[in-house]
């Protein structure tokens, strides 16, 4: 059964509103896009026990990283007979597996025709295409990403770039050929910064029976804008009817930029970084009145700030998350200050809730043809520095 990706709406140049539908064992899982795949560490959404995770109702998909599991091969969890959803208690969610950690793509080369190198808790390990597909056929995720030969050189030779594209395509063919029914394969687009190779990678991948595409701009370009510009030749040669996932775009501006370039799916490693740093999201795409838009506002607040020590307000007024309905900034500040683990539980609950809400607002704004307007307001209210603001907003709106 093939996943169904319906484009519900395309408008304003590259904007896309989509719906990914997966039917498995008579159960239907739906993910409206643009959307996020919740980042996991060793198969759990960091800091959140399952009851706390389920208090964030808009999460529909989980991104599981294989390299967290494979310091020993085969991973012990492949002995579990009921698949990865049940093992990780993600039966309600669409489970998506990739070999590398989108939040920690350590530079690592040493790939050969036979294997890719990955970075586990106990050091570097190799994964072959055969073993990877074998694990996937045991785990039975909804979607997995085929192996990719990432280039880590700053300035690789054309020969190296071509080899990367060829290897990645070969591994994709392996995956599509050997995958058992039940899982869908996403192909990865490579080509480094070479336009022709990026186009070739996109066109060749698109010819194959993939369910979607992964673009990894994390190692390319120093700014998000540069990253997206490098990925653009790939994006331009993709068929419209399949979802596109980008790693490494995390800030609200990044997400808006990615959405405006036709990206459907994003990872949430940024949310974890902000949470671990003691920050709470307070940005919003839904800017209520003009007064708001003339006062430049904070996107995040740091709960380490001593000014919050007696602040009896919730992290964000009006927020419906567990943390905001039950706790104060003063308490979260105290928990950080005393190094108590509940600090990151409450911050993660809020930040992930808020991030899913942000995506929902994005989808609604596209649906109502308000995206450009909302983005313009967003940049006016939140962006640092006039130059950056002008730069980013003009690019999004041009």
Q: Provide the annotated binding site.
A: 319, 321, 324, 350
Q: Is 260 helix (H, G, I), strand (E, B) or coil?
A: helix
Asked whether position 88 contacts other proteins by CB under 8 A, the answer is yes
CA distance 278 to 139: 34
**79 contributes a contact to other proteins by CB under 8 A:** yes
Burial class (CB in 10 A: 0-12, 13-18, 19+), 89: middle
Residue of 23, 30, 121, 158 interacting with other proteins (CB under 8 A):
121
Q: Is 77 in the site for other proteins (CB under 8 A)?
A: yes
Tell which one of 109, 195, 326, 368 touches other proteins (CB under 8 A): 326
- Which among 44-52, 140-148, 195-203, 296-304 is the span making contact with other proteins, rule CB under 8 A? 44-52
Smaller CB separation from other proteins, 319 or 392: 319
Closest CB 328 distance from other proteins, rounded Å: 7
Phi, psi of 37 (to 5 degrees): -110, 120
- State the number of binding residues for other proteins (CB under 8 A): 42
Place of tokens 């039940």: 182
Between residues 171 and 308, which has the closer beta carbon with respect to other proteins? 308
Which one among 89, 117, 131, 137 touches other proteins, defined by CB under 8 A?
89
| Three-state DSSP class for residue 325 | helix
E strands present in the chain: 4-11, 15-24, 27-33, 35-39, 61-65, 94-98, 115-120, 123-128, 143-145, 184-189, 212-216, 244-247, 265-267, 279-281, 300-302
Does residue 210 contact residue 3 with C-beta atoms inside 8 Å?
no
Q: Does 322 bind other proteins (CB under 8 A)?
A: yes
72 binds other proteins (CB under 8 A): yes
In the chain the first and final C-alpha atoms are separated, in Å, by 39
**For tokens 């091969």, what's the residue?**
73
Helix (H, G, I), strand (E, B) or coil at 270: helix
Nearer to other proteins by C-beta: 76 or 385? 76
Of 6-14, 78-86, 245-253, 266-274, the segment contacting other proteins by CB under 8 A is: 78-86
**Binder among 47, 162, 198, 354 for other proteins (CB under 8 A):** 47
Is 295 a residue that touches other proteins (CB under 8 A)?
no
Does residue 123 belong to the site contacting other proteins (CB under 8 A)? Answer: no
- Rounded CA-CA distance 82/282 in Å is 40
Interface pick for other proteins out of 10, 337, 367, 391 (rule CB under 8 A): 337
Q: Is residue 52 close enough to count as binding other proteins by CB under 8 A?
A: yes
Question: Of these, 127, 319, 335, 392, which contacts other proteins (CB under 8 A)?
Answer: 335
CA dist 25 → 1, 91, 182, 318 (Å): 10, 12, 9, 39
Residues that bind other proteins (CB under 8 A): 41-52, 69, 72, 76-77, 79-81, 87-89, 121, 309-310, 312, 322, 326-328, 330-331, 334-335, 337-338, 340-342, 344-346
């Amino acid at each position: 059964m093939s996943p169904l990706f319906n484009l519900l709406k395309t408008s304003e140049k590259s904007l896309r509103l989509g719906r990914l539908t997966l039917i498995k064992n008579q159960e239907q899982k739906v993910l409206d896009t643009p959307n996020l795949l919740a980042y996991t560490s060793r198969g759990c959404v960091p800091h959140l026990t399952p009851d706390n995770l389920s208090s964030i109702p808009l999460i529909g998909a989980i991104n599981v990283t294989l390299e967290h599991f494979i310091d020993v091969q085969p991973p012990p969890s492949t002995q579990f007979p009921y698949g990865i959803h049940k093992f990780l208690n993600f039966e309600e969610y669409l489970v998506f597996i990739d070999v590398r950690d989108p939040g920690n793509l350590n530079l690592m080369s040493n790939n050969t025709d036979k294997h890719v190198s990955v970075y586990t808790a106990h050091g570097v390990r190799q994964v072959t295409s055969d073993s990877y597909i074998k694990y996937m056929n045991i785990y039975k995720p909804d979607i997995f990403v085929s192996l990719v030969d990432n280039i880590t050189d700053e300035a690789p030779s054309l020969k190296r770039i071509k080899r990367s594209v060829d290897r990645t395509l070969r591994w994709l063919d392996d995956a599509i050929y050997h995958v058992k029914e039940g899982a869908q394969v996403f192909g990865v687009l490579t080509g480094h910064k070479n336009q022709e190779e990026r186009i070739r990678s996109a066109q060749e991948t698109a010819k194959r029976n993939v369910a979607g595409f992964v673009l990894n701009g994390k190692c390319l370009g120093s700014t998000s804008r540069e990253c997206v510009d490098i990925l653009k030749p790939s994006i331009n040669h993709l068929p419209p009817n399949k979802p596109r996932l980008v790693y490494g775009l995390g800030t609200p501006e990044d997400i808006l930029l990615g959405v405006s370039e036709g990206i459907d799916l994003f990872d949430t490693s940024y949310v974890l970084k902000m949470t671990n740093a003691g920050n709470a999201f307070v940005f919003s795409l839904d800017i209520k009145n003009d007064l708001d838009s003339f006062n430049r506002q904070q996107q995040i607040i740091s709960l380490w700030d001593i000014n919050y020590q007696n602040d009896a307000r919730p992290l964000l007024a009006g927020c419906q998350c567990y943390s905001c309905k039950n706790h104060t900034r003063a308490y979260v500040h105290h928990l950080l200050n005393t190094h108590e683990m509940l600090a990151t539980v409450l911050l993660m609950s809020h930040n992930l809730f808020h991030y899913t809400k942000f995506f929902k607002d994005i989808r609604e704004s596209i649906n109502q043809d308000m995206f450009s307007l909302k983005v313009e307001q967003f940049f006016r209210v939140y962006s640092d520095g006039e130059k950056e603001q002008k730069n980013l907003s003009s690019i999004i709106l041009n």
